[in-house]
Chain A
Amino acid sequence: MRLGLGPISLAGATRSQLVALAEAAVAASFDAVWIAEARSDGVGGGVAAAAFLAQQVPIRVGAALDFGAYHPLYAAEDIAVADIASRGRIEVLLRGGSAEQRRLLLEALGGAHLRFDGESLRVPARLEANQPSPERLALNPRPLQPAVPVWVEDADESEARSLGFGIARSRRPNATAPPSVGRWPGMLLCPGDVAAEDLLHAAGHAAAYFLIGARTAEHVATAGRRLVGPLRMPGFPEWINKQ
């Protein structure tokens, strides 16, 4: 089981607030800290913010992106640079966007020499006005990780299996976590006060990735104390947290 803090909305977040939460996540033994864009409020920069945060804390850093606003090649370039600068600690959650955007992003991140002919995206565009126009293009530099972990919120399972990304969902009472896809466990976005037994029930015995929406450093510490032990090892003895 993996445990992440967030996603913390970048809307109105200051440097000191964000860093304090991220440091609390490290202190509480979370595996990752996540931030989220809010482009409907004019707040973007998710990948750059992840690159920023990766310089502040040693754990993994995730960015929830409003993917509809992105050209997939720019997204791939942002992710690659952030991943390299963070020495391979970037994770991504895509919200919105089209299947075609996702396919191009994954192909670019995978290192393909691209010649992409989709319904609305053509890369290279091979426009008559641009000469010389390349026959193919590639992402360079490439991410440091062999495969950057990518989840898609409310993804179709067949698309996820076809392209190789993980599936994320918001937690609903008594609902199970999404299935794992390849190496990526199902991701469940949870409120800050969620109980460990509810998460274990949602996961069954399968691996899962829980993002915990704690909003203050104190809540992060409390959530970590409540969740980390039971999620990391079956049969966690209650007395350990009573000392």
Chain B
Amino acid sequence: MTLRLGLGIFSIQAVPQRPDHHVKLYADLLDDAELAESLGFDSIWLSEHHFWFDGYCPADLAAAGAILGRTSTLRVGTAVMLLPMHSVEKVAADATTVNRLGDGRLVLGVALGYRDAEFDGFGVRRKDRGKLMDSMLPRLADASRASDPPYVVYVGVATAVAAQRAGRLGLPLFADSTMNVAELEEMLATYNEAAAAAGVKPPAAHSLQRDVFVTEDRERDWRLLFPELRYMRRQYGGWSNPQEAGESTQAYLERLEGDIAAKLKNLIIGDEAHVAAELRRFAALGFDLIVCRSQFGNLPRPLLRRAVEGLGRVNAAVAR
């Protein structure tokens, strides 16, 4: 199985430690897409969240349109679009156009979403998200196949229920970065059982998201990287576990700290040989596309550039 690498995950945030104006951040994004294309990456990936103080990208198809306009061979993916908050008919109509203008280079990763404030902004009950996904996913899958050219829909998964949902439809997975090898194997088994029960032929391979950082000087770069990782993980952790009424800020930060350690356990960091070896393990499990998150919020540009160029060399090595 040929292993392909995608570069991600671009959330285009004016993080508090580096609150660049978004006009610079989107210009940087387009430059990074050109760099990714020149380095031979399979794809670049965008994330979606809403109503956050640092301007986390809320419109990944609009950003994808800009990238597709700037590039010519690089695929552009959503990692992930929060489908239950959208109208599936609108998403399908939008994706068809964006994919056609991009000459078939759009990849649509979709998942549930989880932050109450976002659901509330769009008048959707968070607790309805599973039912909505059950209803929307088959329609989106049909629309993606009918599109000219067709586009791939990946289903973001971190739970058995989500794997079963994707399995029943035979849609490829986009596995969450927090899952370890054993959890991935278990999830793939669950997926295959659901596909078999539904009489659906599973796809040849799936995709996987990993936090990956290539460095020739781990000690130097870790000092720079860790505050960025901690911010990002606090943010995601905080969305899942909001501060409780009466809870002090200090106590809340300490509560989030445990989550940070857990979430960073799957980070792959090291030189090119180490990273290539780690990534090849996932190809053996059945993942032919690994979306490597090397951008965490808004890294210092020289730090990101070194990591992306290193990952570009890893990409060339694992493709052989």
List residues of chain A with CB under 8 Å of any chain B CB.
10, 13-15, 18, 37, 39, 42-56, 69-71, 73-74, 77-82, 84-88, 121-127, 129-134, 137-138, 140-141, 144
- Which of B115-123, B216-224, B254-262, B270-278 touches A? B115-123
Tell me the dominant secondary structure on chain B's binding face: helix
Q: Do B100 and A48 touch across chains, with their CB atoms under 8 A apart?
A: no
Q: Are A137 and B62 in contact (CB under 8 A)?
A: no
Neighbouring A residues of B92 by C-beta, 8 Å: 42
Q: Which residue of chain B lies nearest to A88 when distances are taken between CB atoms in the complex?
A: B23
Query: Taking each of A45, A126, A130, which has the highest tally of chain B beta carbons within 10 Å of its own beta carbon?
Result: A45
B126 located at the interface, meaning its Cβ lies under 8 Å from any Cβ of chain A in the complex: yes
9 A–B contact pairs at CB < 8 A?
Answer: A10-B97, A44-B93, A51-B63, A52-B66, A74-B90, A84-B26, A121-B123, A124-B120, A133-B116
- The yes or no answer to B58 lying at the interface (CB within 8 A) is yes
Q: How far is the CA of A39 from the CA of B97 in the complex (A)?
A: 11
How many Å lie between the Cα of A84 and that of B98 in the bound state? 18
In the assembled complex, the Cα of A46 lies from the Cα of B117 at a distance in Å of 27
Q: B117, A124: Cβ atoms under 8 Å? A: yes
Q: Is the CB of B66 within 8 A of A54?
A: yes
Pairs A-B, 7 closest by C-beta atoms: A55-B69, A45-B97, A44-B93, A48-B65, A141-B55, A51-B65, A52-B69
- Bound-state CA distance A123–B123 (Å) is 7
Q: In the complex the two chains form, is B68's CB within 8 Å of A52's CB?
A: yes
Q: Interface size of B by Cβ–Cβ distance < 8 Å?
A: 54
A53–B151 Cα gap in the complex (Å)?
A: 20
Q: Report whether A44 and B96 are in contact in the complex, using a CB–CB cutoff of 8 Å.
A: yes
Q: Which of B57-76 contact A (CB under 8 A)?
A: 57-59, 61-66, 68-70
Q: Quick check: A140 and B52 within 8 Å, CB to CB?
A: yes
- Interchain CA distance A13-B122 in the complex, whole Å: 31
Known contacts A48-B61, A82-B65, A140-B53; A74 and B120 CB within 8 A of each other: no
12 other A-B residue contacts (CB within 8 Å) besides A123-B123, A125-B120: A14-B100, A45-B94, A54-B69, A73-B50, A78-B59, A81-B59, A85-B66, A124-B121, A127-B119, A129-B128, A133-B117, A137-B117
Q: Is B281 an interface position by the 8 A CB rule?
A: no
Q: Which of B113-143 contact A (CB under 8 A)?
A: 116-117, 119-128
Residue of A nearest to B100 (CB): A14
Q: Are B93 and A45 in contact (CB under 8 A)?
A: yes
- CB of A45 within 8 A of CB of B95, answer yes
| Given A53-B69, A54-B69: A45 and B120 interface contact (C-beta under 8 Å) | no
Of B52, B87, B121, most A-chain CB atoms within 10 Å = B121
Q: Is the CB of B119 within 8 A of A82?
A: no
B183 interfacial by beta-carbon distance below 8 Å: no
Residues of A within 8 A of B127 (CB): 129
Judged by a CB distance under 8 angstroms, whether B313 is at the interface is no
A55 to B124, CA, bound (A): 34
> Given that A78-B61, A134-B117 are contacting pairs, would A127 and B26 also be in contact in the complex, using a CB cutoff of 8 Å?
no
Whole-angstrom CA separation of A138 from B56 in the bound complex: 12
A43 contacts B101, CB within 8 Å? Answer: no
